[in-house]
Amino acid sequence: MTVKESALNESEVAETDSADSKIDDVAETDSAESTIKDVGDSDPTESAIENASDGDPSEEAAPKTPRGKKSARRLRLSISLPSLVIAAVITALVAAVGVFAWLYVGAQHKLDAQSRQSDNNAHAERLAMDYAVHAAEINFGDLNAWKVKLVAGTSPALKEKLTKAGEEMEQILVPLQWSSTARPLVAKVRSDTGGAYVVDCFVSVLTKTVQAPSPLQSTATYSITIDSNKNWEISDVGGIGAVVEQK
């Protein structure tokens, strides 16, 4: 009995091992078929794409660097362009203000010069007209007052000249019993040379003498030079003699 049981046990063990071996063979066969199927079903293009996507991260970051630089450059350009426009506008405004200021100052200086010239002309014409009226008003009964007015406001050299002329004219005025009144008509600056104004004055004169008891109307013309550089002195007078001679 012992020998028979031992033989049976060995037979069962052998059958068990054989079954296990068959199971292993079947598993290996299934595994191989699964591998072949996977290989057959796989797409080379998809594999390449997956391999490319599974590549080195540095290769993916490489193309991003130029994009980053372009983006930064665009940002700098977008910031710089408005700044340049603003700077250009400010520069243009400053230039325009400078030009307008220069034009304004130039125009103001010109207006000031014209105003001074106009004032000087008016002053010279007023002085000349006052002198001409006083020189034309003569009263043979009070020639001393006329002589004083004749030299009033004149330069020393002209004063001496007019004093002598007044004494000579006295020899004519007294015998004629000269009496005249004057009314201003117009005075106009003829020239201005270095501050020396030559003024032409026109005076309406009514004259009576022993030869013409009825008043005679005439127009006397005086050419008077006034030097503004010497406190507006009268430096020359023409026409006084002609006033008497035309009568």
The H or E element that residue 234 is part of is strand 233-238
Instruction: Tell me which CATH homologous superfamily contains domain 114-245.
Output: VirB8 protein (3.10.450.230)
Tell me, what's the pLDDT at 143?
Answer: 95
Domain ranges for the chain, please list them. 114-245
Give the chain's radius of gyration (CA, Å).
Answer: 64
Each residue's pLDDT expressed in tens, for the chain with a length of 247 residues: 444 444 444 445 445 555 455 545 544 545 444 444 444 444 444 444 444 444 444 444 444 555 555 565 555 555 566 777 788 888 888 888 888 888 878 887 888 888 999 999 999 999 999 999 999 999 999 999 999 999 999 999 999 999 999 999 999 999 999 999 999 999 999 999 999 999 999 999 999 999 998 999 999 999 999 999 999 999 999 976 544 444 4
239 Ramachandran zone, left/alpha/beta (phi>0; psi -120 to 50): left
Query: What is the b/e burial string over 116-130, where b = at least 16 CB atoms within 10 angstroms of the residue's CB?
Result: eeeebbeebbebbbb
Residue with tokens 């299934």: 30
Tell me, what's the pLDDT at 86?
Answer: 82
Tell me, what's the pLDDT at 7?
Answer: 44
Tell me, what's the pLDDT at 170?
Answer: 94
Tell me, what's the pLDDT at 90?
Answer: 87
